[in-house]
Structure 1
């Protein structure tokens, strides 16, 4: 597998998790080999696009045979960095934060939920998915102790920037932001914004045009 290039398109990167998920499913089905045609059929992506995406990262599969499922899944997982076993912390243990803390597929994907934080005295000290909720005032110290690399922001928008600043001071490598707010962070920190209202509004847009 060749070294990842910096000019890989966002569209290609966004499709990689789809490939990984599909490969997990076909692996569970007991398939050893899959063609780009079959993978494309399952994902509604053209075989040509799949081959082009994968070729951005190296040579996979055998012409006339297909892709060896276990091998391709392992390689795509490595490309996605899932073999790093990142340590995650969720900040804001309301309904959304608690749901994220209880999400079982994090561990399946190799992510380790190691800490939960909140500022509400009624929430601090409780447990979600067997993990004790800590006082956010202790975030920096706990982040160093537990080697937290990804911070998940699940707080109301007005508090998002403050939490982001605390995560940056705690030297996290990435932030997954669920708050409906754009936050400023150092360029050294990777960030993905998940605005649920945007996704729902997009769905409304397409539904309105089908009625």
Structure 2
């Protein structure tokens, strides 16, 4: 494996490779090539080979890659060969939909805690998980040793909630609120904003 820091753009492509390979595995593929994998996800074979070479040699020239082996290796690299418990903050319509989504667990994630500040939502049970008040958030997250949070709160409170999450020891935040968060360097944030993606697409429309 390369001792130099791996560029974030490379890391960002690895989940796409894993997703495509898992689909191949479901379809009964035993072996694939960088060309075949590239055709599935719209990335050049040369780029795939270069990305994977950052982590070692996973295939043999002329023989391709073992699909089950590469799936296992990528899961280990991305640390999703285990289940990560997550805290969900915001039990509105979006939060409920996320909590009820069944796809997380099969990919290495599980909503373990749900928080909200609305007294009418606190005490509700969503997918067998009781909604807790945000006033207990810091100590509860700490006691469960949770490192990942998903934020589905209004934009005006997103930063203050984020500050509490950082105090609780959260190191990764998936943010659905339409606001850019200010976080320390060791906290990773990913933004999910459908409006941004829609506006990017409408640029290309007549």
- Secondary structure at the aligned position of 1:83 is classed as coil
Q: Within 2, Cα distance between the matches of 1:105 and 1:3?
A: 32
Q: Which residue of 2 aligns with 1:154?
A: 152
Q: Within 2, Cα distance between the matches of 1:4 and 1:82?
A: 21
> Alpha-carbon deviations, 1:140-197, whole Å to 9, x = none?
1211222211011111100100110110110112111111111112222122122222
Q: Within 1, Cα distance between the matches of 2:3 and 2:119?
A: 45
Range moving further from structure 2, 132-141 or 185-194: 185-194
After superposition, where does 1:46-195 map in structure 2 within 5 Å?
46-195=44-193
Judged with a 3 Å threshold, the aligned counterparts in structure 2 of structure 1 residues 30 and 45 are, in CA distance, closer, same or farther, namely same
Q: Within 1, Cα distance between the matches of 2:189 and 2:129?
A: 24
Whether contact under 8 Å (2:84, 2:110) holds in the other structure is: yes
> Alpha-carbon deviations, 1:32-65, whole Å to 9, x = none?
1111111111112111111111111211111111
Q: Within 2, Cα distance between the matches of 1:103 and 1:3?
A: 37
- Secondary structure at the aligned position of 2:81 is classed as helix
Whether contact under 8 Å (2:149, 2:170) holds in the other structure is: yes
Q: Within 2, Cα distance between the matches of 1:4 and 1:173?
A: 23
Q: TM-score, normalised by structure 2?
A: 0.94
Q: TM-score, normalised by structure 1?
A: 0.92
Whether contact under 8 Å (2:2, 2:54) holds in the other structure is: no
Cα offset, 1:9, TM superposition: 2.7
Q: Which residue of 2 aligns with 1:5?
A: 4
Structure 1: runs of 5+ lacking an equivalent: none
- Secondary structure at the aligned position of 1:116 is classed as strand
Cα offset, 1:69, TM superposition: 0.7
- Secondary structure at the aligned position of 1:105 is classed as coil
Q: Within 1, Cα distance between the matches of 2:45 and 2:57?
A: 15
User: What is the Cα-based RMSD across aligned positions, in Å?
Assistant: 1.4
